[in-house]
Amino acid sequence: MARSDIFAVTIRHFLAPVAPYLDDPAVSEIMVNRPDEIYIERAGALVRTEARFESEDAFLAAVNNILQYTGKRLTPDRPLLDSRLPDGSRVHVILSPLSRKSTCMTIRKFAKTMFDADNLVRLNTWTPMAMEYMKMVVLAEKNLLVSGGTSSGKTCLLNVLSGFIPNHQRIVVIEDSAELELQQEHVVSLESRDADRYGRGQIAIRDLFRSSLRLRPDRIIIGECRGGEALEIIQAMTSGHAGSMSTLHANSCLDSLNRLETLCMMSKVDLPLHALRAQVTSAIDVIVQMTRFGDGRRCVTEIAEVLSLDAQGRYQVRQMFVYKLDESSDSALGQLVWTGEKSSFGEDPRVRVLLKQATLTAQIFSRENAGKASA
Domain boundaries, the chain: 3-108, 117-357
Model pLDDT, residue 133: 97
What is the average pLDDT across 355-366? 91
Reference 315, options 230, 249, 258, 275; nearest CA is: 258
- For residue 175, is pLDDT > 70? yes
Share of the chain above pLDDT 90, in %: 55
Higher-pLDDT residue of 166 and 194 is 166
Model pLDDT, residue 193: 82
- For residue 210, is pLDDT > 70? yes
Model pLDDT, residue 71: 80
Distance CA 245, CA 83 (A): 23
Helix or strand holding residue 220 (H, E): strand 219-222
Domain 3-108 matching CATH 1.10.4160.10: the answer reads: no
Count CB atoms within 10 A of the CB of residue 180.
Answer: 21
Helix or strand holding residue 196 (H, E): none
Model pLDDT, residue 332: 62
- For residue 162, is pLDDT > 90? yes
pLDDT bracket for residue 204 (50, 70, 90): confident
What is the average pLDDT across 74-90? 84
Higher-pLDDT residue of 62 and 374 is 62
Model pLDDT, residue 372: 47
pLDDT bracket for residue 368 (50, 70, 90): low
Model pLDDT, residue 373: 42
What is the average pLDDT across 171-189? 87
What is the average pLDDT across 310-325? 95
Model pLDDT, residue 307: 96
One-letter amino acid identity for 343? Answer: S
Residues 6+ apart with CB under 8 A from 92: 80, 81, 82, 83, 105, 106, 108
Q: pTM for the complete prediction?
A: 0.84
In this structure, which CATH number among 2.60.40.290, 3.40.50.300, 3.40.30.10, 1.10.10.10 belongs to the domain 117-357? 3.40.50.300
Residues 6+ apart with CB under 8 A from 239: none
pLDDT tens digits for range 321-330: 999 987 766 6
Distance CA 132, CA 288 (A): 14
